[in-house]
Each structure stands twice: as structure tokens, then as C-alpha cells.
């Protein structure tokens, strides 16, 4: 390096600690939620948690500020918001500081719809009354009735709905264009679940976080044997049936890669993704007794059992038996399912409130061990 170059100090950036993550459905968002919760604990931040016994912020109702526990008392002093909600920018802004960083995540609607089908098989009338995902997609209108609005959101344009828009709206160019522009104005970054590791690197750069802040173990995934194979016809049908989500995905998949090229570059991206995967492997070897996630019946510690839904077998993890306390604690946080983690943070932040009922044993029954 030349002498002059060494004189230019790098511009340090500070980790952003006011962050709102719009958690979308079946998009690897539970893994992101875990990252957010661990970050909040690391920096001792206040999380906008669901009030009372709920595990989501009023979903599928459109979000209003009082869905957040303690909002009346705490006001705009929350740092992190990341539980499921249906986006409503004006109400979210009442809860989150003016300098909050907003991001979300999207997934290709083709694997997304198949995933929803399995996960919500028992809850969604349109899914319940069809034999399998291909039968449903052969003639969706036969099974789907917009009138069952609450139960049916998962069957059509679920991402569009989560962002606060009408998932049964006409796919009109002027309308969709306006929505895409509005989302671009409301969100600083939209990640893509299909490129999850690349997304984590982009997030790390955008928030000025460390690599260890975005290290994760994949959470809330299901066993391969519950995946149904879509026919080529079904895949094409999804693009039509969920055309609003399809447009959303195509648009932000493009801006995602553009963002990477403009900010990090593909070369650095590849290096950092490798780095992330190496570190992740190290941690898995430190923490886990098996090299990967296991089926629900093989999870030894029932306190770490993820919520099970539909025909999916949601996988979880077994930790090594002989970890020292500090390692055990950080490994537990890496594998802690969403409901347990939400419940635990709630008890920490609102010790005088009635605990959230999980119907599962809690890892930490008393907080003095925290």
C-alpha cells in the first residue's frame, strides 16, 4: 500500500439498534426472528412484544400500536420489533423511533405456496378440502372462497397480505406499480429467502453488525418427506394464482442483486458467505449432538420442541450434554424456537405480567439465572 492510502482512516459505522423486521409467513422468517432476539439480548435492547397471551402482534388484524405490550407506558422507546404483524406504517411509527431501519424478507411464491399448503393444511378451508397441492392448484377457485378471508389468506398472495395490502386485489399494472413503490419507500431493505446466506451478509453490511450477529441455525424447517412435488402445470398456475406475490418477488429479487453489486460486490459477497458457513459449521459442531436438525419425536429436551402444524414435521435440535454453562446458554439461544423465545423475553421484560402460556416446559423457570 502506498503511504497516502494508509493515512485515510476507514469510516467506522455503528451497529444500528433500532430495527423493525416485517416477519412474513413461510419465508425463513423464524430464523431471522431468532437472529433479532439474540441481537436484542446482546445489546440489552427493548423488544416490542405481543401483549398478553398472544405470540404475534395482532395478526391477521391490521397492526395497531396497542397490540404491543406496555405501549401505553413505554411509548416510542422500543428498539426491536419482529413478531408477526400485518404491516401498517402509521401505527408502527408510533412504536418505533424515527431513525428505525425497516427490512423484510420475500420468498419465491412457488416453493412458498407448497410450504403454506403443508403447514396450514388443517387451518385453511381451501387446503383442507383439496386432496393435495396439485389438485388445489388445478382449479383454485373451486376450493378458495375470499369470504373465508381470515383462514384463506395463506392460500393466495400471503406476502402481499403481510405487507398490508389486499391479497385478492385485481392484478392491475398501475395498482401493483404503486404498491411496489410504496414498499420501497417504507423499507430500507428487502431480503430474499431463496438466497438466505447472501441475505444475511447484505443485512450485516446494511446494519453494520458483526458476522456473529447474523450466524444462525435454520429454524422451523420441516422434514423432506412432507414436501409435495409440484407439477410443471402447478408451478405455472402459482404465478397466475399468486400473481401479486409473483410481481413482488420478481421486483425485489432484482433490486436485491442490484443492491449487492452496488454495495458489496459479488466477490466480497462470496468470501463472506463462505466465512458465514464455516463459522456456522464450527458452532454446530460445538453445540449439537447430531450434525443436523432432527424430527420432532427425536428432540430430547421438550422445552426446545418447535410448534407443530398441519402435515409438516417441524425439525428441531439436540444440544450436546456436557457443555459448560456459558456455551450451553448461547447454544440454547441459537436453537430456541420462536414461541419459547418470545415467551422468555416477555418474562424478562415484563416480570410483573402473567407469563405467556406455552403448554411446554420453559427452559428457565426462574429469572435469577439469567
Rounded to 5 degrees, what are φ and ψ at 229?
-85, 125
Complete DSSP assignment for 346-368: HHHH-TTSPPPP-SS--S-SSGG
pLDDT band at 236 (very low <50, low <70, confident <90, very high): very high
Is residue 256 helix, strand or coil? helix
Rounded to 5 degrees, what are φ and ψ at 59?
-55, 140
**Considering the entire predicted model, what is its pTM?**
0.94
Q: Which residues are within 8 A (CB) of 116 and not within 5 positions of it... i.e. 6 or more apart?
A: 25, 26, 124, 127, 154, 155, 158
Domains with residue ranges and CATH for the chain: 19-349 (3.40.50)
Average pLDDT over residues 45-50: 98
Q: What is the pLDDT of residues 269-327, one digit of tens each?
A: 999 999 999 999 999 999 999 999 999 999 999 889 999 998 889 999 999 999 999 99
For residues 352 and 358, give the distance between their C-alpha atoms in angstroms, rounded to a whole number.
17
Average pLDDT over residues 97-101: 97
For residues 63 and 89, give the distance between their C-alpha atoms in angstroms, rounded to a whole number.
9
| Residue 185 to residues 119, 178, 181, 252, Cα–Cα distance (Å) | 32, 11, 6, 13
Q: Which residues are within 8 A (CB) of 81 and not within 5 positions of it... i.e. 6 or more apart?
A: 19, 20, 21, 47, 48, 57, 68, 92, 95, 96
Amino acid at each position: 500500500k502506498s503511504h497516502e492510502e494508509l493515512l485515510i482512516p476507514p469510516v467506522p459505522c455503528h451497529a444500528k439498534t433500532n430495527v423493525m423486521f416485517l416477519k412474513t409467513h413461510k419465508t425463513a422468517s423464524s430464523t431471522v426472528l431468532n437472529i433479532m432476539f439474540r441481537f436484542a439480548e446482546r445489546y440489552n435492547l427493548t423488544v416490542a412484544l405481543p401483549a398478553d397471551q398472544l405470540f404475534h402482534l395482532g395478526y391477521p388484524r391490521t397492526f395497531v400500536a396497542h397490540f404491543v405490550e406496555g405501549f401505553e407506558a413505554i411509548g416510542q422507546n422500543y428498539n426491536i420489533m419482529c413478531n408477526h404483524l400485518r404491516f401498517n406504517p402509521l401505527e408502527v411509527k408510533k412504536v418505533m423511533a424515527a431513525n428505525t431501519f425497516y427490512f423484510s424478507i420475500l420468498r419465491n411464491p412457488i416453493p412458498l405456496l407448497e410450504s403454506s399448503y403443508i403447514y396450514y393444511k388443517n387451518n385453511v378451508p381451501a387446503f383442507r378440502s383439496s386432496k393435495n397441492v396439485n389438485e388445489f392448484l388445478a382449479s383454485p377457485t373451486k376450493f378458495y372462497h375470499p369470504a373465508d378471508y381470515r383462514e384463506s389468506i395463506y392460500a393466495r398472495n400471503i406476502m402481499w397480505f403481510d405487507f398490508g395490502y389486499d391479497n385478492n386485489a385485481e392484478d392491475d399494472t398501475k395498482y401493483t406499480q404503486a404498491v411496489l413503490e410504496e414498499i420501497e419507500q417504507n423499507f430500507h431493505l428487502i431480503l430474499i429467502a431463496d438466497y438466505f446466506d447472501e441475505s444475511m451478509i447484505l443485512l450485516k453490511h446494511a446494519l453494520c453488525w458483526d458476522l456473529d450477529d447474523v450466524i444462525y441455525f435454520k429454524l422451523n424447517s420441516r422434514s423432506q418427506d412432507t414436501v409435495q412435488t409440484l407439477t410443471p402445470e402447478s408451478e405455472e398456475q402459482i404465478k397466475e394464482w399468486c400473481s401479486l406475490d409473483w410481481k413482488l418477488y420478481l421486483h425485489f429479487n432484482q433490486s436485491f442483486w442490484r443492491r449487492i453489486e452496488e454495495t458489496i460486490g459479488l466477490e466480497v459477497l462470496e468470501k463472506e458467505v463462505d466465512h458465514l458457513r464455516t463459522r456456522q459449521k464450527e458452532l454446530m459442531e460445538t453445540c449439537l449432538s447430531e450434525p443436523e436438525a432432527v424430527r420432532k419425536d427425536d428432540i430430547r429436551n421438550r422445552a426446545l420442541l418447535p410448534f407443530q402444524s398441519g402435515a409438516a414435521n417441524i425439525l428441531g435440535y439436540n444440544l450436546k450434554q456436557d457443555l459448560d454453562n456459558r456455551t450451553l446458554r448461547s447454544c440454547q439461544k441459537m436453537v430456541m424456537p420462536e414461541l419459547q423465545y418470545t415467551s422468555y423475553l416477555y418474562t424478562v421484560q415484563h416480570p410483573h405480567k402473567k407469563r405467556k402460556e406455552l403448554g411446554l416446559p420453559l427452559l428457565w423457570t426462574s429469572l435469577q439465572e439469567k
